[in-house]
Structure 1
């Protein structure tokens, strides 16, 4: 196992997959985005993934995508690493997004398994190798078969773990057996991050390196403390925090992410709740259960 340091950049701990704030008309709200970044710094987050799944990358234009990464890099000013979502189901487009991310100063890219076109394991391998060879910027793999309908096997991940420039994986299957296998057999210098909040505590206590989180959007301090405790092997503290967050983990997925997270942040007064079609604002029937989860966690009075 490794300590999660890559090329002088410390990538470890609680890394919110940050939402993209929008006005009610769906236009980007950059001032709110900058305020969220400052809040995450103050609350102890260890980095950010920008324009990933939670950041509505699918409905941002290329220009907006690059603007969000650039804004994050410039406003963060080195306070913690910025990981740019730069994946796609076209290898050429993923390379172009990665080049743009490097140009504006991102510390790494997050590369999702290609979706919709359902590549073979060999196709996945060649896709990620081509990106790593084409752009001199660290790559985090992202396996989330619940969204992509394409599941990258552990064998393929471990094969990619030996490719220069590929530094880790966001493991979002929620399958702890699979995560444990990766943790045991990954080479030194390759990091395993959870991409599933309910099982992140187990992954970290088994030797993983952190959590790329949805819940950290609304509870950054608690998630930072949870990750710190788990990474230090303090299972008692980590368990206490995890159990306090249990309802929040669940209700932030009562509708498709990031719909509930954006509603929660609006309820907390952190931003407006704008969202882009085909995603829609949180259905009114879920307002009370998300609000109750926020109150239970101490995030709302």
Structure 2
């Protein structure tokens, strides 16, 4: 399998998993969120990734999230299911379930906490990617697993060469290392990374690259047309949309993918509540963002970015 076996491209939200105030999985909210994403015209959706708080869900809940999302989207866009876990056997079982319920692909990091070597990471991905017939996306997420696959010499091309691997999501905080990944693998697999900025646009129109998977997708009104403009080769229009996107994302997320005001997922869900989007609550060990000053700052960023329109009194109700 290679990049030509899938049409994975463009702007994808990494969906949060909505939970109720008492910590239960909110399947109704998840369905509403899938409808919102489809209405926004996203090019794909990732569920049960880091933004989806997979780490605080039971295996049964993770299966329910996959089933609910696939059913709700109903083939209107690509759905890839995150299957990260602590062992290849766990990840493989989730991948088989994703295949059974009709997902379009699966994604995984290396196991958190384990700090695998390059050889161990390669063997892990060999086992997990072959657990199902679905196209597989390798996810390099150093902030979450404390291992940066992009900095292991020669590893990314080896991962790209695995039979079921069709894409790499490279979320290293080292942008030059991400470019090395892109240059080494873009002819083999789809590459998703940090591209919605001026340097990224130059790379997309020159070296190549396929898309971005954005935590929560509140930037979809700008990220979707950005990638549409890139696909059309319209640099001027792409620049217009990336500047709108950066006015929000650049003020909420640090270069290492940490949140400016809180942990990324509580910050995201606070922003989604301000936008009246069905992101739901976070689940322990995460805590909701409740600092009034931080919430005011986030609301101002959303207003400045044109996503949040205040009422007639100029107030935003939390």
TM-score by length of 1: 0.91
Is residue 2:228 matched to residue 1:228? Answer: yes
Count of residue correspondences: 296
Counterpart residue number, 1:118: 115
Classify the secondary structure of the residue corresponding to 1:146. Answer: helix
Distance 2:107 2:196 in 1: 18
1:128 — aligned with what?
125
Secondary structure of the structure 1 residue equivalent to 2:264: coil
- Indicate the SS of the match to 1:10: coil
Q: Give the Å deviation of 1:43.
A: 1.2
CA offsets per residue over residues 28-64 of structure 1, 9 Å max, x none? 2222211221121121101100010111111011111
Shift, 1:118, TM fit: 0.5
Is the CA contact 1:51–1:85 (under 8 Å) kept in the aligned structure 2? yes
Tell me the equivalent position of 2:14.
17
Structure 2 distance, partners of 1:68, 1:178, is 33
Q: Does 1:211 align with 2:219?
A: no
CA distance in structure 1 between the partners assigned to 2:126 and 2:296 by the alignment: 46
Unaligned residue ranges in structure 2 (runs of 5+): 254-258, 310-318
CA contact (8 A) 2:33 2:279 kept: no
Question: Contact 2:84/2:109 (CA < 8 Å) preserved in 1?
Answer: yes
Sort the Cα spacing of 1:5 and 1:220 in 2 relative to 1 into closer, same or farther, 3 A. Answer: farther
Secondary structure at the counterpart of residue 170 of structure 1: strand
TM-score (norm 2): 0.86
CA distance in 2, matches of 1:33, 1:58: 17
Q: Answer yes or no: is the 8 Å Cα contact 2:139–2:170 preserved in 1.
A: yes
SS of corresponding position for 1:245: helix
Judged with a 3 Å threshold, the aligned counterparts in structure 2 of structure 1 residues 154 and 166 are, in CA distance, closer, same or farther, namely farther
Cα pair 1:210 1:231 within 8 Å, conserved: no
CA drift of 1:210 comes to 0.4
Provide the rounded CA distance (Å) in 1 between the counterparts of 2:139 and 2:219: 23
1:226-263 CA-partner distances (Å, limit 9, x unpaired) = 12223443333222222222242131522222111111
Deviations 1:138-176 (A, max 9, x none): 110000112210111362111111111011110101433
Instruction: Measure the CA separation in 1 of the matches of 2:80 and 2:195.
Output: 17
Question: Secondary structure at 1:258's aligned position in 2?
Answer: helix
2:282 equivalent among 267, 275, 286: 275
Q: How does 1:160-199 map to 2 (within 5 A)?
A: 160-186=159-185, 188-194=187-193
The aligned residue for residue 55 of structure 1 is 52
C-alpha displacement of 1:134: 2.6
Contact 1:20 1:33 in 2 (8 A): yes
CA deviation string 1:97-117 (max 9, x = no partner): 111111111111111122201
